[in-house]
């Protein structure tokens, strides 16, 4: 039999960023927390934390946020940083403010540069995060690069060679696939996530990346209708596509 975890209501809600335990006790006394449409006034009560809880519990009339184990697909806009700490706009600003207080914390799965756009995943699931970024898993990431100068035709073989050594590194890059779109545009698929990897790969050929957009990660792509800054939660089937 599978054992269902239980939690005190105040501890659960506080870990989901709704406020301190005292604030949850006050909200409950005021009737702001309901379970199956009935006010839940005693937040010291332990309740089973089942997957259907977000559909059954309301906080100030709103459905409870997703429980731990969430995976977010975001279309990262230009100019936002994948960091919890830096100054300026952060990708976390695009999510509900209370999610910044969730425990375990939500983090990006790998990073995109401030000037890179496109498919970014975030999760509070540390195991999943490590599985996606582990070089041993070879999860493919495809980037659309717009270049300052025309390709010279040698890049594909160099990137595929497994011999390209980036400046300041002591291990060559794993083979990567280049698909030429036009003289100054290409799709590059890599399996590693080294610092500024795609920009540095093109720099090694004497070129310069002007625009960089991640289109694909494993078997996941951005839905057409998802504008920059928009996000959605992934279903289990979509999460499985990462490793497809």
Residue 60: CB minimum distance to ligand URA, A? 38
Q: Which is closer to ligand URA, CB of 62 or CB of 167? A: 167
Residue 138: CB minimum distance to ligand URA, A? 16
Residue 113: CB minimum distance to ligand URA, A? 4
Site residues (CB under 6 A) for ligand URA?
Answer: 112-113, 116, 143, 196-199, 212
Q: Which is closer to ligand URA, CB of 215 or CB of 238? A: 215
Best CA proximity match to 214, nearest among 133, 82, 81, 117: 117
Q: Can you give the chain as a three-state secondary structure string?
A: CCCCCEEEHHHHHHHCCCCCHHHHHHHHHCCCEEECCEECCCCCCEEECCCCHHHHEEECCEECCCCCCCEEEEEECCCCECCCCCCCCEHHHHCCHHHHHCCCCCEECCCCCCCEEEEEEEECCHHHHHHHHCHHHCCCEEEEEEECCCCCCCHHHHHHCCCCCCCCCCCCCCCCEEEEEECCEEEEEECCCCCCHHHHHHHCCCCCEEEEEEEEECCEECCCCCCCCCEEECCHHHHHHCCC
Q: Which is closer to ligand URA, CB of 109 or CB of 112? A: 112
| Size (the chain), residues | 244
Q: Which is closer to ligand URA, CB of 59 or CB of 112? A: 112
Q: Which is closer to ligand URA, CB of 75 or CB of 197? A: 197
Residue 80: CB minimum distance to ligand URA, A? 12
Residue 118: CB minimum distance to ligand URA, A? 9
Q: Any idea which residues carry the catalytic annotation?
A: 113
């Amino acid at each position: 039999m599978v054992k269902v975890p239980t939690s005190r209501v105040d501890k659960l809600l506080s870990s989901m960023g709704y406020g301190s335990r005292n604030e949850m006790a006050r909200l409950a006394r005021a009737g702001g927390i309901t379970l199956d449409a009935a006010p839940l006034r005693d937040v010291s009560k332990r309740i089973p934390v089942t997957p259907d809880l977000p559909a059954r519990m309301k906080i100030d009339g709103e459905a409870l946020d997703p429980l731990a184990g969430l995976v977010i697909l975001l279309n990262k806009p230009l100019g936002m940083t994948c960091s919890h700490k830096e100054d300026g706009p952060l990708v976390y600003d695009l999510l509900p403010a209370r999610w910044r207080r969730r425990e375990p914390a939500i983090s990006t799965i790998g990073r995109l540069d401030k000037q890179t756009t496109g498919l970014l995943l975030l999760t509070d699931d540390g195991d999943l995060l490590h599985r996606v970024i582990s070089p041993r898993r070879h999860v493919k990431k495809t980037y659309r690069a717009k270049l300052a100068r025309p390709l010279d035709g040698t890049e594909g073989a160099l990137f595929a060679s497994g011999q390209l050594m980036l400046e300041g590194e002591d291990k060559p890059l794993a083979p990567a696939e280049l698909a030429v779109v036009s003289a100054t545009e290409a799709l590059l698929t890599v399996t590693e996530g080294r610092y500024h990897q795609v920009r540095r790969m093109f720099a090694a050929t004497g070129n310069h990346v002007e625009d960089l957009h991640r289109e694909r990660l494993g078997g996941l792509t951005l839905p057409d209708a998802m504008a920059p800054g928009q996000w959605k939660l992934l279903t289990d089937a979509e999460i499985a596509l990462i490793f497809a």
